[in-house]
Structure 1
Amino acid sequence: MNFYLKVSFLSAALSSGFIFSQTKDEVIKNIMKESFDNSQLENLAFSLTDSIGPRLVGSPKMQMANNWAVSKFSKWGIEAKNEQWGTWKSWDRGTSSVEMVYPYIKSLEGMQLAWSPATKKDGITAEVIMMPEFATKADFEKWLPSVKGKLVMVSQYQWTGRPEANWKEFATPELFEKYQKQSDAANEKWNKSLQTIGLTWRTLNKPFDKAGAAGIIWSNWSKGFGVNKVFMAGTEKIPAVDISLEAYGQLYRFIKHGITPKLKIIANSKDLGMAPTFNTIATIKGTEKPDEYVILSAHFDSWDGGTGATDNGTGTITMMEAARILKKYYPNPKRTIVIGLWGSEEQGLNGSRAYVSDHKDQLPKIQAVFNQDNGTGRVVNIGGQGFVNSYNYIGKWLSAVPKSITKEIKTDFPGYPGGGGSDHASFVEAGVPAFSLSSNSWDYGRYTWHTTRDTYDKIVFDEVKNNVALTAILAYMASEDPEKTSAERIVMPINSQTGKPAEWPSIQEPIRKGE
């Protein structure tokens, strides 16, 4: 071959993504360099959380996100598709406002709960009442007709808006102890009342919907300054809104002092009927063992109080960025690498459970699943999920990861199987070696998990870069491993309550039609 042909061949090979044979050290070095020096995380996060926004299952924004991900993977040369697994009630959040109009005019911080019915065009104006605590169910049933035409406050009144950490830092030991006792007593009293009337936070709104209330007012405080959790309305006819702790407390105190406040609520949401729901599945085809799989896993959907940045935008962009880097520096993996971005995790792991149900032929051939879903922090814990020999392969793969990444990671082998909580559990239930890459807190549970403040500015990108490098190297090592992983399970321990061995989590079928 002459010089010009050699140059032409080399150019074509490079442009097609062909990478000449590399040593393990070279691949890992390239992954590390790309993860930290050429990160695309900020652009991905902007597109996903700011430009698209929250990704409520079935919503137009969820469909937009699915299509965006397919397009992004395709630009990287990675085959991708949206795989339908069910249908869901499609709902689109419109403009909304909550105004106090008596005893004086004030705009309140609040928003509709997901799937809340809309108000009429000019809204509703009604008096506000507070659901009391009940000693008997009969007392509740006797009181219930009084809600007709009223806006009903159904959340516990918070006597203090200061988080516990704030009390602990500034109060005297005696005052902090008093705070704890008063808070515990208030919580116990409220929860006992709910138990007495046979309702939970999931079912609480339904009786008021049927009794003709004008609407429901929540304040689901997340125990931090200025932050509430926003879930679903659970009503068919009347709107449900969540308002800030500060506004809710003021309304409560008005009522307590004999003043009946009035609110005007305008909610312009749209019920769009039923819509198809999807998982986005991307694939880098294996060369030597194409019918064995390494799966990078994260849920794509979110609640819509914020923009789903840390739950689970960070897990999503981790897996997408890891895939981009693998395609660039490890384009011909030995095993097929699958990136699964699951739908409807928030309603019960439905997307990943559907994938497990619909791809039963893959399950015995899965080398490992790596799932990330608990915030913006760097990975600090990996457990064996009850697989007897998990230490042998996870330990071997982790040994290849630079100490700068692993120095804070604690491991627990063989561990105990996860029965829920995130999408690795869908695979664990089916006996597939699936592992949660668990992150440190960054106050995830209080400030961003399912809250109004789960937004781009809460992402700590240097931490997420660590997770990208870790995920990409683990995927590379799992793909290269000459041995198939063992899925042998531990003998489950004795359940102290029954005296019998505990059971491995059973396979759960997904909800394929959500209404």
Structure 2
Amino acid sequence: MNKKLLLPTLLLFTSSFAFAQDKKIIDNIVKEVNENSQLEKLAHELLDVVGPRLVGSPQMKQANDWAVKKYSDWGISAKNQEWGKWRGWERGVTHIDLVSPRLRTLEGTQLAWSPSTNGKPINAEAIVLPAITDSVSFQKWLPNVKGKLVLISMNQISGRPEKNWEEFATKDLFEKYKKEKAEAAKAWAEGIAKTGLNAKNLALAIENAGAAGIIINNWSQGFGVDKIFGANTTKIPTVDLSVEDYGLVYRLAVNGNKPVLKIEAESKEHGVVPTFNTIAEIKGKQKPKEYVMLSAHFDSWDGASGATDNGSGTIMMMEAMRILKKFYPNPKRTILVGHWGSEEQGLNGSRAFVEDNPEIVKNLQALFNQDNGTGRVVNIGGQGFAKSKDYITRWLAAVPDTIKNQIKTSFPGMPGAGGSDFASFVAAGALGYSLSSTSWDYGTYTWHTNRDSYDKLVFDEIRSNVILAAIMVYMACEDPEKTSTEKATDLPVNERTGKPVTWPEPRKATREGGL
């Protein structure tokens, strides 16, 4: 054969072979997701059996161990990597009753890290934080809290979401409601500010003045849904009541009906406990020291089960790893997945990983993170990297049209400074991409709420995301090029400051927390 013809012929053959391999593996990925999905089983085991995964809780460690065992069952190497220590705390039963002037079992729960009632219920009158004119008047009032349960949140004008008002009220009535709501919120915030204390110090001042407990309502502006975060008290319990029951107790108190509540709030302190990231690996055969990563935080707040924040991202990445191991067991580059701890307290697990694994970060081909609910991925930005468009566009081309046609891309995009764990890698100059999903009312109904449970997952949407993630990882692994971490010079203008966006600085992980 003519030598001049040999090279083009070989290149054509190699290209055809690669295309056929790509098609076979991609077809297998799609078929496996559609015909043999393990998502429902994974979700049940993680969300129903293990439950929420508050950093430092026994359930968080149980989840870490469950994931390692699950990966082992699939023939994937996995381990828990200790990155820090946290206050160990375990939620117990919460039971709250109105016992006077009538009987009613109230809907509510203790906040994370709330002190317990030490095995015996509190029976006490509930009082309301009054309108505060200045810090002096607040200090004069403070002795009134001794032996009382103190309501320190604003009472909502209405427990109906704004969407409900907008749908059914007249235009004038809706505008009137919005104005009254805004004025009430402003007045309440100004009153709190006049105490001279922030939220944490307000709770501590009431606790130190001898209160029996603190009651709040952190309504999430939807029917039946509250945000459940952490307690600021150190000796007395803090509980959140639903907007309906908080309003009931509030009205009884301000109208002189002297409501008495019975509260049982069990919890256990476990001292200082180690906390972990769970890392799994499929070793690369040709370029084992180059890495493609899947990423999702494993921890959650514990008002419900942590289903969409971020059980959905967790099971998505686990399922993608299972399928890649089955149909792509010998990747060109090493595939890693990071299930991060303590994302909710400041991206601590992923920040620690970035600090502790500079060689992986330096040789990272790409990372794909998912963490905003159960919906299909609809946005991928370039995170401010100059060449992102080349890679993302090339990798997305292999994704089925029904999935990729729903995705909006933006390049070079803006480097993420926070929000989720991809930002830990972006700050270090590594290609960390966020697979951003459609809402499904995430912000109101499931993000950090008491309603973030298994039944809120939309499995068909997660299945689409598994296909997307698995194919993107496969394409990034097989890409003949090593990706570039060159930063774009034409970053967008920050709308708030009017100045060009600056690259985020790496921030250190909090290695000891809650103490």
Pairs within 5 Å for 1:319-398: 319-398=317-396
- Hey, what does 1:406 align to over in structure 2? 404
For 2:21 and 2:492, how far apart are their aligned partners in 1?
43
For 2:483 and 2:159, how far apart are their aligned partners in 1?
50
For 1:202 and 1:350, how far apart are their aligned partners in 2?
22
- Hey, what does 2:510 align to over in structure 1? 511
- CA 1:197–1:386 in structure 2 vs 1: closer, same or farther (change >3 Å)? farther
- Hey, what does 1:4 align to over in structure 2? none
| Residues 414 and 501 in structure 2, CA contact (< 8 A), matched pair in contact too | no
| Residues 128 and 254 in structure 2, CA contact (< 8 A), matched pair in contact too | no
| Residues 203 and 232 in structure 2, CA contact (< 8 A), matched pair in contact too | yes
Q: Equivalent of 1:178, from 169, 176, 179? A: 176
Unpaired segments ≥5 residues, structure 1:
1-19
- Hey, what does 2:15 align to over in structure 1? none
Deviation of the 1:501 alpha carbon: 5.0
For 1:463 and 1:156, how far apart are their aligned partners in 2?
37
| Residues 372 and 437 in structure 2, CA contact (< 8 A), matched pair in contact too | yes
> Residue type matched to 1:111 in 2?
T
**Per the alignment, in what secondary structure is the counterpart of residue 361 of structure 1?**
helix
Please report the RMSD computed on the Cα atoms of aligned residues, expressed in angstroms.
1.7
Out of 323-332 and 196-205, give the one that drifted further. Answer: 196-205
> Residue type matched to 1:99 in 2?
D
Normalised to the residue count of structure 1, the TM-score between the two structures is: 0.93
Deviation of the 1:195 alpha carbon: 3.2
- Hey, what does 1:317 align to over in structure 2? 315
Pairs within 5 Å for 1:140-289: 140-201=138-199, 203-289=201-287
For 1:74 and 1:28, how far apart are their aligned partners in 2?
24
For 2:423 and 2:199, how far apart are their aligned partners in 1?
24
- Hey, what does 1:477 align to over in structure 2? 475
Percent of aligned positions that are identical: 59
> Residue type matched to 2:395 in 1?
W
- CA 1:408–1:499 in structure 2 vs 1: closer, same or farther (change >3 Å)? closer
> Residue type matched to 1:197 in 2?
T
Out of 413-422 and 45-54, give the one that drifted further. Answer: 413-422
Deviation of the 1:399 alpha carbon: 1.0
List per-residue Cα deviations over 1:166-197 (Å, max 9, x = no partner): 00111111111111111111111122223333
Deviation of the 1:211 alpha carbon: 2.1
- Hey, what does 1:138 align to over in structure 2? 136
Pairs within 5 Å for 1:115-130: 115-130=113-128
**Per the alignment, in what secondary structure is the counterpart of residue 359 of structure 2?**
coil
- Hey, what does 2:487 align to over in structure 1? 489
Deviation of the 1:256 alpha carbon: 2.0
- Hey, what does 2:14 align to over in structure 1? none
Deviation of the 1:363 alpha carbon: 1.4
For 2:494 and 2:414, how far apart are their aligned partners in 1?
13
> Residue type matched to 1:507 in 2?
P
For 1:264 and 1:359, how far apart are their aligned partners in 2?
51
For 2:392 and 2:29, how far apart are their aligned partners in 1?
19
Aligned residues: 496
> Residue type matched to 2:115 in 1?
P
- CA 1:37–1:497 in structure 2 vs 1: closer, same or farther (change >3 Å)? closer
- CA 1:198–1:350 in structure 2 vs 1: closer, same or farther (change >3 Å)? farther
- Hey, what does 1:6 align to over in structure 2? none
Deviation of the 1:502 alpha carbon: 4.3
Deviation of the 1:355 alpha carbon: 0.4
| Residues 413 and 492 in structure 2, CA contact (< 8 A), matched pair in contact too | no
Out of 316-325 and 133-142, give the one that drifted further. Answer: 133-142
List per-residue Cα deviations over 1:224-271 (Å, max 9, x = no partner): 111111111121101111111111001111122121111111111111
Normalised to the residue count of structure 2, the TM-score between the two structures is: 0.93
Deviation of the 1:123 alpha carbon: 1.4
List per-residue Cα deviations over 1:315-365 (Å, max 9, x = no partner): 000000000000000111111110100001111111011101111122110
- CA 1:503–1:194 in structure 2 vs 1: closer, same or farther (change >3 Å)? farther
**Per the alignment, in what secondary structure is the counterpart of residue 373 of structure 2?**
coil
For 1:456 and 1:402, how far apart are their aligned partners in 2?
28
For 1:376 and 1:201, how far apart are their aligned partners in 2?
32
For 2:167 and 2:376, how far apart are their aligned partners in 1?
27
- Hey, what does 1:108 align to over in structure 2? 106
For 1:78 and 1:391, how far apart are their aligned partners in 2?
32
Deviation of the 1:423 alpha carbon: 0.5
Deviation of the 1:209 alpha carbon: 2.1
For 2:247 and 2:410, how far apart are their aligned partners in 1?
44
